[in-house]
Amino acid sequence: MPVATGIGPDELRERRERLHALVAAHRPRGLVVFDQSYVQYLTRFSFLATERPVAYVERFGGETAAFVPEFEVARVRAETGFDRVEPYPEYPGTEHPMRILARLLDDMGITGTIAADQDGYPGILGYRGPSLSEVSGAEVVPAAPALERLMARKSEAEIELVRESARWCEHAHRLLQEYTRPGVTEAQAGLRAGYEASLAMLDALGPSYDGGLSSTDGASAGYRGQIGARSAWAHAIAHNIEFSPGDVLVSETAAPVWGYNAELERAMVVGPPTDEMRRHFDHMCAAQQVAFAALRPGVTCADVDRAVLGYFEEHGILDTWSQHTGHAIGLRNHEAPFLDVGDETVVEPGMVFTIEPGVYVDGFGGFRHSDTVVVRADGIEILTDYPSDLESLTLPL
């Protein structure tokens, strides 16, 4: 089977054209995008988001530009096809980068009304600065809702990248399961599994792979501290805990492929499971099956979560509920829409979700499988392929 590759220029061009159509009613002269994921979605340009502003700039019907700090210019010119690569010396510098960006917009003829994902660079890592509307004198109209709408439905090329990510999540999880034994720590098992899976993934994807922002990006697997009684904390943090007989575990994996992500998680048990463990595990699996059956085109995201909550209520286990059924996934690990009773977004073919209803018993343990699925015209296709039965997920002593 051929290995998936990154998104091609024709699809990138089509994305930008669809975005133009969605914001056309505001009659903007051009576009400014600051968010890293949005920039990558529209252009495939990846950058490390720091306190230094970076922006993708486009005059509708005209030229494109990357606005970057000076030290990024050579790389961006070598690796991208923007019409212009416009630098500023450094942040905060003697002149704020946002004021230099305003001059670029004026030079490109982007004045009056500008579509932007937000009114200025976000305040991350200590960044402070004036708004885009302040420095440009333009009316800034929101483009983020349109971008989220576009990103929610994946193309077949995007789905293949998520599918490839799922394959490497599966490989990393197999290694994690193999290396998880009593007396071993979560760091030892996770780092070993992630290292071996990453090397295999990089070898398979070849030298053209550019899915990471650092030399250590690749596949990862671990537990994030969800070990023993801590597994009842849906978002625990790692403590380098040593595995012990009787531990309930909740795993996590990741493997970005040209920026796209799948998610695979499993509840596991170290040593023979007790009857109580089996009962909670079975409820978790049944709730996930309810979600699988409920998710299809035409329903709302809220409908899917309500179906799962209905299962919890019917079986008298609502006190073990902790978080919604799932979320969209793609260029970000968490994307909109969300499988939550508060999200009335209508499900459409091409949407990709995690399905991960969990059973969390305070002081005892948590039970959660997460699988990545794509919505098709007649239901769903499960992209992650990994055993989900308790026997397969019981680790030897």
- pLDDT bracket for residue 5 (50, 70, 90): confident
* Backbone CA torsion sign across 197, 201, 207, 208: negative
DSSP string, 72-95: GHHHHHHH---SEEEEES-SS-SS
User: Taking 50 as the threshold, does the pLDDT of residue 356 lie above it?
Assistant: yes
Q: Residues near 248 by Cβ (< 8 Å), separated by ≥ 6?
A: 227, 228, 231, 267, 268, 269, 277, 364, 365, 366, 367
User: Taking 70 as the threshold, does the pLDDT of residue 215 lie above it?
Assistant: no
Q: Rounded mean pLDDT of the chain?
A: 95
Residue owning tokens 């983020």: 144
Every domain of the chain and the residues it spans: 9-151, 153-395
Cα 135 to Cα 310: distance, rounded to the nearest angstrom: 52
pLDDT for residue 1: 43
DSSP conformational letter for 229: G
Specify the pTM.
0.95
CATH code, residues 9-151:
3.40.350.10
The domain 153-395 is placed in CATH, from the list 2.130.10.10, 3.40.50.720, 3.90.230.10, 3.30.70.100, at: 3.90.230.10
Percent of the chain with pLDDT over 70: 97
